[in-house]
Amino acid sequence: MSQKQRCLLIVEDDIGLQSQLRWSFEDYDLVIAGDRPTALALLRRHQPAVVLQDLGLPPDAAGTTEGFATIAEILEEVPHTKIIVVTGNGDRDNAVKSIGSGAYDFCFKPLDLEVLRMIVDRAFRVHELEAENRRLRSQSPAVFEGVIGNSTAMLNAYRMVEKVSPSSATVLLLGETGTGKELFARAVHRLSSRHGGPFVAINCAAIPDALLEAELFGYEKGAYTGAHKQTKGKIELAVNGSLLLDEIGDMPLTLQAKLLRFFEERVVERIGGRELIPVDVRIICATHQDLPALIRDGRFREDLFYRISEVSIRLPPLRERAGDAVTLARHFLEQAASRHGRTVRGFTAKALKAIAEYPWPGNVRELENTINSAVIMADEKQIGLEALHLGAVDDDILDLQKVRNDAEKRAIQRALTQASGNLSRVASLLGISRPTIYDLLDKHGLKRPTSPD
Ligand SMILES: Nc1ncnc2c1ncn2[C@@H]1O[C@H](COP(=O)(O)OP(=O)(O)OP(=O)(O)O)[C@@H](O)[C@H]1O
């Protein structure tokens, strides 16, 4: 979207500041108000995505009551509006209070216009992303049911699913364990013309090789010991619907050949049967494995790979979905609290920081389990860092600066010992100059050796 299409409302009573801002944001579609009633009238008429608002507005230009009332009314009228509050230099209390009242960000006077332009630009981008997400959800409310996440990576995945689902293409969902492949497979099914038919899933890794063929293709009565009655396989059960072949990378080679035949001829032959039964099924495959690597190792058929990957959608791991871990954690907390009848209200700031920074190797499933057990075990109203049991992650490790400093200090101490206090040798061991050594010794409060060289 070009700046000219981006409507920015400035609420500022100071005429001098008004013209400074008008000049700075002339490339935007700008509307300016000097007080609350005008601001609200312009809000209704222009629906600006972003509002830049002074806290001191008439009739309380020296206070903040009018400013806070304006924030409240704007958000009541159009809740998605991003309000950036402008407040007096160092007035941290009101800045924090305005965020608590729902403002998006704040900046202090005197204004650094370059920084302000960045904040405004980011507010527009966040607003646009959120609007896009709402659009996707409102168009198809049930399609992405249960799928949480507003990160750009997830929005891309939603778009791919939207595009590919109505076609009959075979979709391959790739992603680490717990990234939501099954949820997305269900979304593909719901968005397709087959949504009235069944959605059937089979996990190829969870069923012993010997049974997998029978599970997939079915068997006739008496086909083998224990085959007491004719039984349809999952492929037949999914007729007129979709079949998810989960963990397709774990399918044995012999069965891969039979599956390939199914793809080519679209018929199934039950074990022990003579009849070729035509079936109309859309296949969706999923795996956490690197299929090209399996092909190189001779463990996956290349021809089958091309059949199943007409369209591949990669679901990003949680660590690549900026902001999603916290959103999901809040969602799972609410869900678990209501399921277990607990009155847990939220997370402490440290817990939220840890959730955002932990790499979540088990992805959403691991996060869901972690929050679930924290809610069940919680004694407090808020879930703290300790309740999450995130192993190696503690507060210190989350502070990258501290980690770097500690590592630097340890390296200098080791070099000092190795070089017996000879600073020229210390410098050469660490690959830095002698003056830098002096700076680092002072920085870390280390004593300078008494006989330096
Ligand atoms: N984006 C999401 N929003 C909400 N819940 C999610 C999301 N992604 C995954 N989940 C939840 O996480 C759990 C794991 O998801 P799912 O089974 O779809 O993952 P998967 O990638 O198929 O995992 P695996 O490869 O281990 O089978 C489920 O309980 C699912 O509901």
Asked if residue 323 and residue 310 are part of one domain, the reply reads no
189-203 residue pLDDT tens = 999 999 999 999 999
Domains of the chain: total: 4
Task: Decide: 246 in ligand 1 pocket, CB within 6 A.
Answer: yes
Residues 6+ apart with CB under 8 A from 9: 31, 32, 33, 39, 42, 43, 46, 48, 50, 51, 52
- CATH code of the domain containing 422: 1.10.10
* Token pair recorded at residue 336: 């678990």
Per-residue pLDDT, 397: 46
182 Cα: distance to centroid of ligand 1 (angstroms): 6
Could you say which of 282, 314, 346 is where a domain stops? 314
Candidates 154, 182, 247, 330: which one to mutate for ligand 1, based on the most atoms within 8 Å of Cβ? Answer: 182
183 Cα: distance to centroid of ligand 1 (angstroms): 6
Q: Has residue 260 been placed in a domain?
A: yes
247-291 residue pLDDT tens = 999 999 999 999 999 999 999 999 999 999 999 999 999 999 999
DSSP E strands, 184-336: 199-203, 218-219, 231-232, 242-246, 267-268, 277-278, 282-287, 311-314
Asked if residue 255 and residue 214 are part of one domain, the reply reads yes
Residue 415 belongs to what domain range?
Answer: 400-443
- Tokens 């000049």 locate to 23
Q: Has residue 412 been placed in a domain?
A: yes
- CATH code of the domain containing 388: 1.10.8.60
Asked if residue 371 and residue 307 are part of one domain, the reply reads no
More confident residue, 307 or 451: 307
Task: Decide: 178 in ligand 1 pocket, CB within 6 A.
Answer: yes
Task: Decide: 186 in ligand 1 pocket, CB within 6 A.
Answer: no
Is the confidence at residue 396, as pLDDT, over 50? no
DSSP E strands, 267-413: 267-268, 277-278, 282-287, 311-314, 346-347, 382-383
Q: Has residue 354 been placed in a domain?
A: yes
Q: What does the alpha-carbon distance between residue 449 and residue 430 come to, in Å, rounded to a whole number?
A: 16
Per-residue pLDDT, 36: 96
Asked if residue 180 and residue 304 are part of one domain, the reply reads yes
Asked if residue 410 and residue 392 are part of one domain, the reply reads no
Question: Model's pTM, two decimal places?
Answer: 0.61
Per-residue pLDDT, 137: 61
Task: Assess contact for 301 and 260: CB atoms under 8 A.
Answer: yes
Q: What percent of the chain is predicted at pLDDT more than 90?
A: 55
From the alpha carbon of 183, which atom of ligand 1 is closest? Answer: 18
372 Cα: distance to centroid of ligand 1 (angstroms): 15
Candidates 150, 155, 183: which one to mutate for ligand 1, based on the most atoms within 8 Å of Cβ? Answer: 183
Q: What does the alpha-carbon distance between residue 246 and residue 265 come to, in Å, rounded to a whole number?
A: 22
More confident residue, 126 or 452: 126
309-319 residue pLDDT tens = 999 999 999 99
Task: Assess contact for 216 and 233: CB atoms under 8 A.
Answer: yes
Task: Decide: 330 in ligand 1 pocket, CB within 6 A.
Answer: no
Asked if residue 353 and residue 219 are part of one domain, the reply reads no
The maximal CA–CA distance of the chain, rounded, in angstroms, is 94
Protein residue with least CA distance to atom 16, ligand 1 = 180
Per-residue pLDDT, 263: 92
19-65 residue pLDDT tens = 999 999 999 999 999 999 999 999 999 999 999 999 999 999 888 99
319 Cα: distance to centroid of ligand 1 (angstroms): 15
234 Cα: distance to centroid of ligand 1 (angstroms): 22
ipTM over 0.90: yes
180 Cα: distance to centroid of ligand 1 (angstroms): 3
Asked if residue 436 and residue 355 are part of one domain, the reply reads no
Asked if residue 413 and residue 284 are part of one domain, the reply reads no
Q: Has residue 450 been placed in a domain?
A: no
Q: What does the alpha-carbon distance between residue 345 and residue 378 come to, in Å, rounded to a whole number?
A: 11
Could you say which of 293, 314, 335 is where a domain stops? 314
Is the confidence at residue 340, as pLDDT, over 70? yes
- Of the CA atoms within 13 Å of residue 101, those in its CB half-sphere come to 24
340 Cα: distance to centroid of ligand 1 (angstroms): 21
- Tell me the β-bridge partners of 200: 243
114-136 residue pLDDT tens = 999 999 999 999 999 888 877 76
Q: In whole numbers, what is the pLDDT of the chain averaged over residues? A: 88
Q: What does the alpha-carbon distance between residue 170 and residue 173 come to, in Å, rounded to a whole number?
A: 10
Asked if residue 168 and residue 293 are part of one domain, the reply reads yes
Asked if residue 118 and residue 181 are part of one domain, the reply reads no
Protein residue with least CA distance to atom 28, ligand 1 = 365
Asked if residue 269 and residue 128 are part of one domain, the reply reads no
Asked if residue 221 and residue 171 are part of one domain, the reply reads yes
Task: Assess contact for 337 and 380: CB atoms under 8 A.
Answer: no
147 Cα: distance to centroid of ligand 1 (angstroms): 9
Protein residue with least CA distance to atom 23, ligand 1 = 178
Protein residue with least CA distance to atom 5, ligand 1 = 147
Protein residue with least CA distance to atom 29, ligand 1 = 365
Q: Has residue 38 been placed in a domain?
A: yes
369 Cα: distance to centroid of ligand 1 (angstroms): 11
